[in-house]
Homo-oligomer: A and B are copies of this chain.
């Protein structure tokens, strides 16, 4: 008999919802505005309504729905089912979201960090399928992360495991938004690739992108990528640095949790195979030759659905382990 879980990927602007079966098939999915400006009760109601809508839209019996998984931005607590204080959800301070959703929908619910949920999604249904030890880096505005160790999401004592964007790869290096120096995020996130380009041009370095800056246009990571491919030396250097620091973070995780596969996700992977090839090249230049425990380095395959599918997967997993 088929069983289902609802996945919710809670974002600052929209939330994505869907119904997923135990074989990772998505029966329906949709996106609705989160409505943070309307306050806590509105957001909670929006999530509860999305759960009901996913069940009815998919046309399954509610009795066959095992539960709801919710991926939430951090800080949050899986153990306590609590959204603590996410920067992009200002109305969601200390909201016991897990129990609220259960109260309103009658379904068991589990709460997970959104980056962890996305990593679990790729592990369960995407690029990590079939492996037991996986690491994921998500290259967006920041660099997110998630670690699966022996088939379990690694949460850690303070529930902040897998904050891989804040691995230090350059001591004394660029200041990160987290206040550390030299985080991989400070070199390799889309926002920081763009920011470095702007800084270098402003400091007087030559680049074909100077004209954009002079016209007051916003330089984004894809412009740096494009300029690098077109032969811009400064852009090529910044892009290459981003890949090299990601490769160092891969070496670090190779030795820390020793995954079979490292998966890259997020908007920046639209740069395509050359990005992957460059990370792999640097990885093999930077890693040891003592053993041949080299992880496969791959792109994620679920795109924007990873968080929603992963949240549903977390609910299936909660059912298995009893750890909602």
Contact = CB atoms under 8 A, between A and B. Distances in A.
Nearest to A161: B258
Interface stretch (A48-56, A214-222, A289-297, A307-315): A289-297
A287 B158 CA distance: 15
Interface stretch (A190-198, A226-234, A249-257): A249-257
Q: Give the interface centre of A157, A160, A260, A293 by most chain B CB atoms within 10 Å.
A: A157
Interface in A145-193: 145, 147, 149-150, 152, 154-164, 166-171, 176, 178-181
A96 interface: no
A93 interface: no
A156 B258 contact: yes
Contacts of A181: 286
Contact of A157 (B132, B156, B161, B289): B132
Given A180-B288, A256-B147, A131 B160 contact: no
A248 interface: yes
Contact of A258 (B131, B159, B286): B159
Contacts of A150: 152, 154-155
Number of copies: 2
B157 A260 contact: yes
B255 A167 contact: yes
Secondary structure of the A contact surface, majority rule: loop
Contacts of A288: 166, 176, 178-180
Contacts of A260: 157-158
A252 B252 contact: yes
A65 B204 CA distance: 73
A147 B286 contact: no
9 contacts: A75-B291, A132-B157, A149-B154, A149-B156, A156-B259, A157-B259, A160-B255, A179-B289, A179-B290
A79 to B, nearest CB: 11
A245 B150 CA distance: 29
Interface in A246-300: 248, 251-253, 255-260, 286-291, 293, 295
A133 interface: yes
A244 B181 CA distance: 13
B291 A160 contact: yes
Nearest to A288: B178
A251 B173 CA distance: 15
Q: Which 7 A-B pairs have the closest CB atoms?
A: A156-B258, A158-B293, A157-B260, A161-B258, A178-B288, A133-B157, A163-B255
